[in-house]
Amino acid sequence: MQSRIKILWDYYEQNPNDPFNLYALALEYLKLEQKTEAILFLERLLTEHPTYVPTYYQLGKIYEQNSEDQKKAVEVYEQGILHCKTQGNLKTEQELRNALDELMFDY
């Protein structure tokens, strides 16, 4: 049986312009506790597909886990909120606001 990473890479190679393929790879690397790889994919998503809003929550959460990256987490959440407003995506906007509020409360 092929590993999930291999399968996800195959999907990515078949359709490299689909942001979900990068997102799925990032989440799989997170699941395997390979944060460095996950961060690389999530940051790449922000560069190549900045309107793919699920990225902001996941990347913000990773940044939150490192006390040195708290400011980055705030910036990521705020950027995501702006994209959600533009898209009229109220559900994800609220999730990002909640994450930001929780972080600021603890910060």
Rounded CA-CA distance 95/99 in Å is: 6
pLDDT of the residue at 67: 81
pLDDT of the residue at 107: 60
- Domain extent, residue 46, equals 4-106
* Residue 18 φ then ψ, to 5°: -90, 115
pLDDT of the residue at 9: 95
Encode the chain (107 residues) as per-residue pLDDT tens digits: 459 999 999 999 999 999 999 999 999 999 999 999 999 999 999 999 999 999 999 999 999 998 888 999 999 999 999 999 999 999 999 999 999 999 988 66
Q: What is the CATH number of the domain that holds 89?
A: 1.25.40.10
| Cα-based distances in Å from 27 to 33, 40, 57, 85 | 10, 11, 12, 24
pLDDT in tens, 92-103: 999 999 999 999
Number of domains in the chain: 1
